[in-house]
C-alpha cells in the first residue's frame, strides 16, 4: 500500500516547548505525523512571545502548526497515567526539558521503554543529558556561546555580535527530526526503539566546517577569530558597500581572473602579491580595497550586481527580511507560506525547506489552542467517560483556554 503522506500513521507525543523541540515536531506534522502536544496548565511559554492578537501568539502559531494540543499538569499522577497511556500506543516521544525533569515526572527513557519498547524517544537539551554543564539553564544563545559560535561573529576589535534569528534552536529541531526519522527507519527494518540524546551545543559545534580542524592541524598556529565583514583567510570574500547598499562578493580561483578583468585591474593578475588564493588572503586589505574602489566607480548597486552576475562572479545583495519576502525568486518558489489562523487570519511564516517530488504540497494546518483536544483525545483515544474528564477539569489536572 502506498502511504498517503510521508509519515502516515506515525504517532508522536510531544512534551516540548519554546522553539527547538516544537520545530522538530512541526516538521514531523508537516510531513504527515499525528502529533499530540502536551502543554502545562499555563501553556508553552512561547505563547508569551510576540506578536499577539487577542492573546494569541503568532510565534506559537508558526512553530506548532498541525499539532493537537492537550494541557495537563504532569506533576500529578492522574496526568502521568494519561501520558503513559498515550505513549503505550505512540511511535515517538519528543521533549526538551532540562535533563532530569522527565525523570521527576516518571517519563524518562528508563520508565518509558518498559511501557513501550518500540518507542523512539528524543531528548533535546542545551548541553546534553550528562556532563558538567548539563543542568544549566539553556537557551539558544547560551549554547552558541559555549559552542564557540558567538565569538566568531563581529568585528575583531569590538564586541562579538549574534545573528538575530534562532540559529541554534531551528538547527537542533532539524537535527532531532533527522535522528528521529533515522531511528524510525531503523525500527522498520527490524531494529528496536531507542533514546536519542541531542543537544544544541554539540549541534552548533558541528557548524565549524573549518575552525576546529584548522586550529588543531596547524598546531595552534592559527587561532580562529572573528573578522567582521570580510573572511579571515580568503579575499575577496566579504561584504562591500556600493551606494547605500551592502553587497557580498566572493571570487576564488578562475572567478578572480574574471573579476580582475571586469574591474580593469589586469595588472593584479601578474602581481606576485595576488598570484594565488593564499597570497590574496595574505594581502586581503589591498584586494578588498581594489574591489571597493571599483564598486565606488560604478556607484549603482543594481548595475554593479548585474555586471558581476553576468560574469558569473559569486555576488549578492544583502537583503532585509521584508526584501526577501517580496523578492521574485522567493515568490516563484513559494518560500513564504501563508497559513490561516482562526484568530490571526492570514499569517506569513517560512515554508519548510524540505521539498519532496512525491508530496509537493504542504497540508493545510492550524496550531491548537491551549488544551483544545483534551476532550477528544481523552474520550476517543483513551476511552475516558464524560464524568471522568469533568473530574480532571475540576481538580485542575487539565486546562483549556482559547489562546
Partner 1 sequence: MTRKHVLDGVKVLDFSHFVAGPHCTRLMAEAGAEVIKVEAQIGDAARHLPVIKDGRSGYFIQHNRGKKNLCLDLRTKEGQEICHELIKTVDVVIENFTPGVMKKFNMDWEAVSKVNPDVIMCSISCLGQEGPLSKLPGFDYIGQAYSGILGMTGEADGYPALSGMAFGDISTGAHAYGAIVTALYHKAMGGGGQFLDIALLDCLFSYHEMNVQVYDASGGAQVPQRSGHQHAFVAPLGLYKCKEDYLIIVAIGAQWNNLIKLLGKEEWADDPRFADPLVRNENREEISAEIERWLSTVDNVTEAVRILVQENHVPAAPVLSVPEVMSHPHMQQRGIVQTVKDPAFGEVKIPATPLRYSQFPDRLELQAPFLGEHNEEILRDRLGYSAEKISALQTSGVLNAKDI
Give whichever of 312 and 402 is closer to partner 1, judged by the CB atom: 312
Alpha-carbon torsion 222, 224, 230, 231, what sign? positive
CB of 374 to partner 1, least distance (A): 25
CB of 77 to partner 1, least distance (A): 26
The burial of 331, by beta-carbon neighbours within 10 Å (0-12 exposed, 13-18 middle, 19 or more buried), is given as exposed
Give whichever of 270 and 357 is closer to partner 1, judged by the CB atom: 357
CB of 89 to partner 1, least distance (A): 18
Give whichever of 241 and 265 is closer to partner 1, judged by the CB atom: 241
Give whichever of 192 and 402 is closer to partner 1, judged by the CB atom: 192
Inter-residue contact 97 to 39 (CB < 8 Å): no
H-helix or E-strand spanning residue 294: helix 284-298
- The CB density around residue 66, as the number of other CB atoms within 10 Å, is 24
Give whichever of 267 and 296 is closer to partner 1, judged by the CB atom: 296
DSSP string, 317-332: E---HHHHHH-HHHHH
Q: What's the CA gap between 401 and 219, in Å, rounded?
A: 59
Q: What's the CA gap between 44 and 356, in Å, rounded?
A: 31
Inter-residue contact 47 to 126 (CB < 8 Å): no
Q: What's the CA gap between 206 and 94, in Å, rounded?
A: 22
Q: What's the CA gap between 385 and 252, in Å, rounded?
A: 69
CB of 69 to partner 1, least distance (A): 19
CB of 300 to partner 1, least distance (A): 18
Give whichever of 78 and 162 is closer to partner 1, judged by the CB atom: 162
Give whichever of 81 and 333 is closer to partner 1, judged by the CB atom: 333
CB of 243 to partner 1, least distance (A): 14
Q: What's the CA gap between 338 and 38, in Å, rounded?
A: 26
For 161, the grid coordinates are: 555580535
CB of 390 to partner 1, least distance (A): 32
H-helix or E-strand spanning residue 70: strand 67-71
Amino acid at each position: 500500500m502506498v502511504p498517503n503522506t510521508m509519515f502516515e500513521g506515525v504517532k508522536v507525543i510531544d512534551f516540548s516547548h519554546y522553539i527547538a523541540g516544537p520545530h522538530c515536531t512541526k516538521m514531523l506534522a508537516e510531513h504527515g505525523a499525528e502529533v499530540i502536544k502536551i502543554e502545562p496548565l499555563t501553556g508553552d511559554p512561547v505563547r508569551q512571545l510576540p506578536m499577539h492578537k487577542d492573546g494569541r501568539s503568532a510565534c506559537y502559531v508558526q512553530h506548532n502548526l498541525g499539532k493537537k494540543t492537550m494541557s495537563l499538569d504532569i506533576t500529578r499522577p492522574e496526568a502521568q497515567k494519561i501520558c503513559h497511556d498515550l505513549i503505550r500506543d505512540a511511535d515517538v516521544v519528543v521533549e526538551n526539558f532540562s535533563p532530569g525533569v522527565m525523570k521527576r515526572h516518571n517519563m524518562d527513557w528508563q520508565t518509558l521503554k518498559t511501557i513501550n519498547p518500540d518507542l523512539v524517544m528524543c531528548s533535546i537539551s542545551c548541553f546534553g543529558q550528562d556532563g558538567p554543564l548539563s543542568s544549566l539553564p539553556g537557551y539558544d544563545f547560551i549554547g552558541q556561546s559555549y559552542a564557540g559560535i558567538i565569538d566568531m561573529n563581529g568585528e575583531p576589535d569590538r564586541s562579538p555580535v549574534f545573528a538575530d534569528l534562532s540559529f541554534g534552536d531551528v538547527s537542533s529541531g532539524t537535527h532531532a527530526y533527522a535522528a528521529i526519522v533515522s531511528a524510525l527507519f531503523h525500527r522498520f527494518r527490524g531494529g528496536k526503539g531507542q533514546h536519542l540524546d541531542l543537544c544544541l551545543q554539540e549541534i552548533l559545534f558541528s557548524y565549524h566546517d573549518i575552525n576546529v580542524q584548522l586550529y588543531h592541524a596547524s598546531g595552534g598556529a592559527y587561532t580562529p577569530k572573528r573578522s567582521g565583514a570580510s573572511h579571515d583567510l580568503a579575499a575577496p570574500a566579504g561584504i562591500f558597500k556600493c551606494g547605500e547598499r551592502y553587497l557580498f562578493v566572493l571570487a576564488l580561483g578562475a572567478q578572480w581572473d574574471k573579476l580582475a578583468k571586469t574591474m580593469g585591474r589586469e595588472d593584479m593578475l601578474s602581481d606576485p602579491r595576488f598570484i594565488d588564493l593564499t597570497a590574496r588572503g595574505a594581502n586581503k586589505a589591498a584586494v578588498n580595497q581594489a574591489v571597493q574602489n571599483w564598486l565606488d566607480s560604478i556607484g549603482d548597486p543594481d548595475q554593479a550586481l548585474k555586471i558581476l552576475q553576468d560574469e558569473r562572479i559569486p555576488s549578492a545583495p544583502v537583503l532585509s527580511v521584508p526584501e526577501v519576502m517580496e523578492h521574485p525568486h522567493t515568490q516563484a518558489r513559494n518560500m513564504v507560506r501563508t497559513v490561516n489562523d482562526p484568530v490571526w487570519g492570514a499569517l506569513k511564516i517560512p515554508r519548510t525547506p524540505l521539498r519532496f517530488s512525491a508530496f509537493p504540497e504542504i497540508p493545510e494546518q492550524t496550531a491548537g489552542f491551549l488544551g483544545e483536544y483534551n476532550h477528544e483525545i481523552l474520550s476517543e483515544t483513551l476511552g475516558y467517560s464524560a464524568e471522568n474528564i469533568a473530574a480532571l477539569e475540576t481538580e485542575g489536572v487539565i486546562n483549556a483556554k482559547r489562546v
